[in-house]
């Protein structure tokens, strides 16, 4: 699985302090004991003192974007990826979620990671409703609404 993470959005939920503690938490959560996951964490602004704009940290790739919105770099990353089948975009930004939708990527809003879950939610793409489910939903609705 490839995770493309809007760090500013996730930091709002998980940060609350020193940035490297946030990196530790993100690395443990998205990589954990899973092998083969790729995590790229995009952060707005400049890096901590004495760090380059891009560096590896506990198996993650961390990219700071001085002078550029991280959202733009995330879009570039999405466009660059050849095999988008296993890509999950983690953000609360509606524009980025819609951008990911255009490429048929799995979208994972940050707030879903903090709703008491201690593991990643399923990243399966939503399936359509069956005929029985549609009938059940439409039961009791006026005819003009049953489309």
Q: Find all residues with CB under 8 Å of 12, minimum gap 6, and list them.
A: 92, 110
CATH number of the domain where residue 48 is located = 3.40.50
pTM, entire model: 0.75
Number of domains in the chain: 1
The pLDDT of residue 133 is 57
Instruction: Domain of residue 97: give its range.
Output: 2-145
Which tokens go with 37?
Answer: 């996951």
Supply the pLDDT for residue 124: 47
Note the pLDDT of residue 84: 78
């Amino acid at each position: 699985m490839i995770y493309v993470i809007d760090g500013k959005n996730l930091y709002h939920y998980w940060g609350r302090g020193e940035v490297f503690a946030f990196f530790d938490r993100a690395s443990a959560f998205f990589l954990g004991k899973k092998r083969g996951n790729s995590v790229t964490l995009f952060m707005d602004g400049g890096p901590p003192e004495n760090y380059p704009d891009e560096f590896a940290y506990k198996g993650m790739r961390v990219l700071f974007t001085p002078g550029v919105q991280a959202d733009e770099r995330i879009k570039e990353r999405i466009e660059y990826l050849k095999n988008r089948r296993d890509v999950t975009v983690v953000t609360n930004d509606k524009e980025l979620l819609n951008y990911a939708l255009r490429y048929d990527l799995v979208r994972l809003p940050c707030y879903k990671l903090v709703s008491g879950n201690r593991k990643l939610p399923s990243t399966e793409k939503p399936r359509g409703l069956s005929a029985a489910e549609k009938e059940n939903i439409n039961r009791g609705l006026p005819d003009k609404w049953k489309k």
